[in-house]
Chains A and B, each alone.
Chain A
Amino acid sequence: MESRKQMSQDITLEYPIKGMDFVSAGEASSNIKHTLQLIGFSPAIIRRAAIAAYEAEMNIVIHGSGGVLKTVITPEKIELTAEDSGPGIPDIDLAMQEGYSTAPDHIREMGFGAGMGLPNIRNCSDEFVIDSQVGKGTIVKAVIYRT
């Protein structure tokens, strides 16, 4: 509660994410997690936000050929927006099914592409919106409330 009082203004973090860069992938989510720890969010809320951010970041790395991961932190909520300029998703309902993945074998060899990313972001969030246009890209927005 004390840290909530100390947070006098909203914090916006914005990270450009490179496509197919598996070495620095995760750095943005790590910074987001660290910032939430400094502000004083509870470990359970931080974990949900960190997982959602990391899944969204990895989606940009794997599918998106680059994009931006933006986080707006207010005293009440954490708002994550992942925007990429990738191929887009033709069938969003299918992409939201656990286990469905279009990731090729070389991505699975890196430990990703289990078809759990988008469903996991939704499970970690209080609000979840996805918008995608084939040939243009995808925007995923996830909101996690403090209480």
Chain B
Amino acid sequence: MILFKYALKRSLRTPSNIIVIMILPLVFIIMPSIDDRLMPQGLAMYGMIVLFSAFLLSKQLIENRSNQTIVRIASSPLSHLKYLTSFLLAFTVILWIQNILFLILMKLYWNEAIIDFFVLLLLYFCYSILTISFCLFWNSMFKTYYTSLALFAGVASLMSMITGISLPLSMLPDTLLRFSVFLPSYWLAYGLDMVYNNLINNVLLSIAIMSVYSIIFIMIGSQRRF
């Protein structure tokens, strides 16, 4: 609990985190639909904000490693499991609060266009966990935050572009989509599409895929590194 509170406080102490997590999503609320669908594009583009928010939050993990905090934690009577779960849980709570606030504001702004509020919320909840686990996995590959950030900025932008987050899936060529399915963020765009096509089974499938992805990323990323 101490670590959880500490991670929570530390996450909300940085002004850049507050801006990205709490203020930037507001921009996407007013984003209208790009094609002739009912779904406002802001719903999909918000996926990008979640991805970057997760990365900013997970900065603490890589910082803990680079400034040797993790060594001090390892020498205390706290297990690596407890350390990791506390931090990841804190990040998840922050992102979930962001998800709830964003969807409430979307509902207030778009009213009729936001169908299945709770299904969308479930989708975002799963996606938030996926982004956190992806960032954990990503950061586990690098020694310093800045190398990680530099590459992540490129990869995440590209990922958003080709997986239906920045642009609707219907606008992406089929050849590209063949490979996009292997990228985790595709399944948010796919899930959102399915919500608006009223195919609830496919929404559940996208949630299942995101969950398996999250477990895979956590499994690889949770290896203890000093």
A binds B: no
